[in-house]
Amino acid sequence: MSSRVWVVDDDRSVRFVLAAALRQAGHATEDFASAAEALRALELHGPPDLLFTDVRMPGDDGLVLLDRLKQAHPALPVIVMSAYTDVASTAGAFRGGAHEFLSKPFDLDEAVALAAQALGTAADEDAAEQAPEAGAGTAGADALIGDTPAMRTLFRAIGRLAQAPLSVLITGETGTGKELVARALHRESPRAQRPFVALNTAAIPAELLESELFGHEAGAFTGAGKRHVGRFEQANGGTLFLDEIGDMPLPLQTRLLRVLAEGEFFRVGGRELIRVDVRVIAATHQALDTLVAEGRFRADLLHRLDVVRLHLPPLRERREDVP
C-alpha cells in the first residue's frame, strides 16, 4: 500500500515538481497552497503518513501548521522546507518537532530519499512521539551565517542538539566561530534565560585557572583578600563554554572531570561543597585524541566532553560565506 504524502507550499511550481517526484516514487500525493487548506483536509480525511511544508506562506505559516499537526498527531513526521537556511529558521522547525529541515532549492532525489527515510522511521516507531528539538541563533552581531552545504549541515545539527542536555565538543581552526556555535546552542536551549559564561583556558595563567573555574575563599592563597565566585558558580543553571580545552593543565582536568561526573566541587581553600547544574560546551583547535595518546589530555575527560562533536569547517572551505 502506498504512503499518503502531503505537500504544502504557496509556490505552485514547488508543489508540482515535488508532488510529481513523490508520486513517481510510488506515494499517494496531495498538494495544498496554504496551511488552512491542509488543516481542512486533515479534518475531513485524517492525517497523511508524511507532510512536507514550506515555512513562509500567506496566512498561517508552516511553523503554525507544524504546531497544529504536532498537537493533534505527535507521531506524524513533518519535513519543513525553506529558502531561508539559517540557524533561526532551523531552530523554529526543530523546536516544533520537525523530522528534518530541507533547504531550498533542493535536489528532488534528496527529497524523495528523505521521504523514504522519514516514512521508514515512522513505521519503525509508529507509537513514538517526535520530541521537540531546538536549533540556534537569533539575529545580531553574534549570529551564525552561512549558506554552504557544510554550514547547512551545522545549522541542522545545532537545531537538534540545543535542547538535549548533553556535553558538546566543538572543533575547528582558530577564527572559525566556535564561540558563536556555543552561544547559539545556549540561546535556543531551555537554559536560554540563565547565564552563558565563557572562559578561554589558554588565556589564563595555569596558577590562576583553578580559581577562575572553581572560585576561592578569602585567604586561600597570597593575594586572596576576599571570596571569589568562579565560572562554574556564575554559570549555575546555564551554560559554561570552555574554549581551548586542550590547553588545560592535567591536574585541573581531574577536577573538571569530577564536576562533570558529580556536579559538585569545593572552592580553592574552601570546605563547603558547592553543587551546580551547568551544561558544559568545550572547544578546541587541537586534535584531542592525539593529546590523549601523548598523555597530555585525560581519556576519561575527553569521553565526558565528547558526547557529541560539532566540527566547524575552515573559512577557506566555505568562501561563499565570507562577506
pLDDT in tens, 230-243: 899 999 999 999 99
Instruction: Report the DSSP beta bridge partners of residue 80.
Output: 53, 101
Q: Does the pLDDT of residue 121 top 80, yes or no? A: no
In whole angstroms, what is the distance from residue 99 CA to residue 160 CA?
10
In whole angstroms, what is the distance from residue 169 CA to residue 91 CA?
20
Q: Does the pLDDT of residue 34 top 70, yes or no? A: yes
Residues 187 and 106 in one domain: no
pTM of the model: 0.60
Residue 56 has what DSSP assignment?
S
User: 46-76 pLDDT, tens per residue?
Assistant: 999 999 999 888 888 888 898 889 888 888 9
CB atoms within 10 A of CB 202: 14
User: 74-91 pLDDT, tens per residue?
Assistant: 889 999 988 776 666 676
pLDDT, position 288: 94
Closest Cα to residue 4, out of 13, 14, 17, 32? 32
Q: Report if residue 212 sits inside a domain.
A: yes
Residues 213 and 313 in one domain: yes
pLDDT, position 127: 34
Q: Does the pLDDT of residue 8 top 90, yes or no? A: yes
Q: Does the pLDDT of residue 147 top 80, yes or no? A: no
Percent of the chain with pLDDT strictly greater than 90:
37
Number of domains in the chain: 2
**What residue has cell string 536560554?**
192
Helix (H) or strand (E) holding 23: helix 12-24
In whole angstroms, what is the distance from residue 289 CA to residue 306 CA?
11
Angle among Cα 34, 37, 39 to the nearest 5 degrees reads 110
Query: Cα 174 vs. chain centroid, distance in angstroms?
Result: 21
User: 275-322 pLDDT, tens per residue?
Assistant: 999 999 999 999 999 999 999 999 999 988 988 888 888 777 766 666
Instruction: Report the DSSP beta bridge partners of residue 2.
Output: none
Q: Does the pLDDT of residue 323 top 70, yes or no? A: no
More confident residue, 19 or 143: 19
Q: Report if residue 143 sits inside a domain.
A: no
Q: Report if residue 250 sits inside a domain.
A: yes
Q: Is 322 exposed, middle or buried (0-12, 13-18, 19+ CB in 10 A)?
A: exposed
Q: Report if residue 132 sits inside a domain.
A: no
Helix (H) or strand (E) holding 299: helix 299-305
Closest Cα to residue 96, out of 127, 74, 123? 74
Residues 233 and 176 in one domain: yes
User: 181-215 pLDDT, tens per residue?
Assistant: 999 889 888 898 999 999 999 888 888 898 899 98
Residues 120 and 157 in one domain: no
Percent of the chain with pLDDT strictly greater than 70:
87
Q: Report if residue 33 sits inside a domain.
A: yes
**Residue 54's domain spans which residues?**
4-124
In whole angstroms, what is the distance from residue 28 CA to residue 44 CA?
17
Residues 153 and 279 in one domain: yes
Type of residue at 45: H
Residues 103 and 154 in one domain: no
Q: Does the pLDDT of residue 138 top 70, yes or no? A: no
Q: Report if residue 205 sits inside a domain.
A: yes
Across the chain, mean pLDDT equals: 83
pLDDT, position 132: 33
| Mean pLDDT within 97-107 | 81
DSSP string, 175-217: TS-HHHHHHHHHHTSTTTTS-EEEEEGGGS-HHHHHHHHH-B-
Residues 165 and 307 in one domain: yes
The three three-digit cell numbers of residue 169, written as one number: 565538543
In whole angstroms, what is the distance from residue 2 CA to residue 219 CA?
74
